[in-house]
Structure 1
Amino acid sequence: MSVIRRTDARRTETPNAVMTTCASPTQGGTGLSMWRVEMDRARTGPRHAMDTEQVWTFLTGSAVVELAGEELALGAGDTLVLPADAPRRLRSDEGFTAVVASPAPSTAHNLDTGDRVAPPWIV
């Protein structure tokens, strides 16, 4: 059993959001990562795909997820299961906070640049 104290949570800031790792293989977990996403209003994330499934539960605010050509509006209390390898982009006019879980390790593929990275909040 592992306990990850709030003071030990890993915080990663990108141009679009702040991810706070609650658990990951390098932070007390074994094969599952969980993190909190806080996206400010008027932000749009990159067009990308993940090589693993992700489960997002929105705690506050709202977002629109472009998923494989479809737009899905989500708000507080909604949960979205994003399949592996599906092209996606999140945007928010008002901002949101969500909790996300995903198998680890996991790799992101930026569909505009072709870059592949292991997001630091998942490892």
Structure 2
Amino acid sequence: MPVIAAPPAPTHELPGARFTALATPSRGSTDTSVWRVEIDPTTPATPHQVTREEVFVVLDGTARVRIGGAEHIAGPGASIVVPPGVPFELAAAGDAPMRALCVLPVGGQAQLPGGEPFTPPWAQ
């Protein structure tokens, strides 16, 4: 399937965050999952790690990211590269929502502290 139409609305919602699956195995891709995330400015970051490299490209707003204990700020157009097995957190910085495009290889999983790895539903 060479063209996958974008959904008209977010496909998954959590308190303060919305995820829109764009290209995922359930939508027709085989090797790469891509989704858009929007995080409200008052939403606290969720510490976790991933089993495969994950890349975020900030589209709007400003991201505050902590990777392996080091904090960084990323604005529109910046890429955030999260290595596998390294704790990280992502949140909006400032007063506006942060929107980013996210890319994770199919089979990549997230893991909350003390939990088992799982595939986020927006990446399936």
TM-score, with length taken from structure 2 = 0.89
State which drifts further: 10-19 or 73-82: 10-19
Write the letter of the residue equivalent to 2:60. Answer: T
Aligned residues: 122
Deviations 1:30-55 (A, max 9, x none): 01000001111111231100101011
Write the letter of the residue equivalent to 2:119. Answer: A
Aligned residue in 2 for 1:90: 90
Shift in Å, 1:118? 1.1
Structure 2 gaps, min length 5: none
Aligned residue in 2 for 1:121: 122
Provide runs of 4+ in structure 1 moved above 3 Å. Answer: 7-10
Specify which structure has the higher proportion of strand: 1
Q: Does 1:76 align with 2:76?
A: yes
Per the alignment, in what secondary structure is the counterpart of residue 121 of structure 1?
A: helix
TM-score, with length taken from structure 1 = 0.90
Aligned residue in 2 for 1:48: 48
Computed over aligned residues only, the root mean square deviation of the Cα atoms, in angstroms, reads 1.7
Write the letter of the residue equivalent to 2:68. Answer: A
Q: Does 1:104 align with 2:114?
A: no
Deviations 1:79-117 (A, max 9, x none): 111111110011223321100111012211101x52432
Matched residues in 2 for 1:8 and 1:96: separation?
19
Shift in Å, 1:10? 6.4
Write the letter of the residue equivalent to 1:66. Answer: R
Structure 1 pair 9–32 and aligned structure 2 pair: CA distance change class (3 A): farther
Matched residues in 1 for 2:18 and 2:37: separation?
6
Shift in Å, 1:6? 2.2
Deviations 1:60-97 (A, max 9, x none): 00011011010011111111111111100112233211
Shift in Å, 1:13? 0.6
Matched residues in 2 for 1:43 and 1:67: separation?
18
Give percent identity, aligned residues only: 33
Structure 1 gaps, min length 5: none
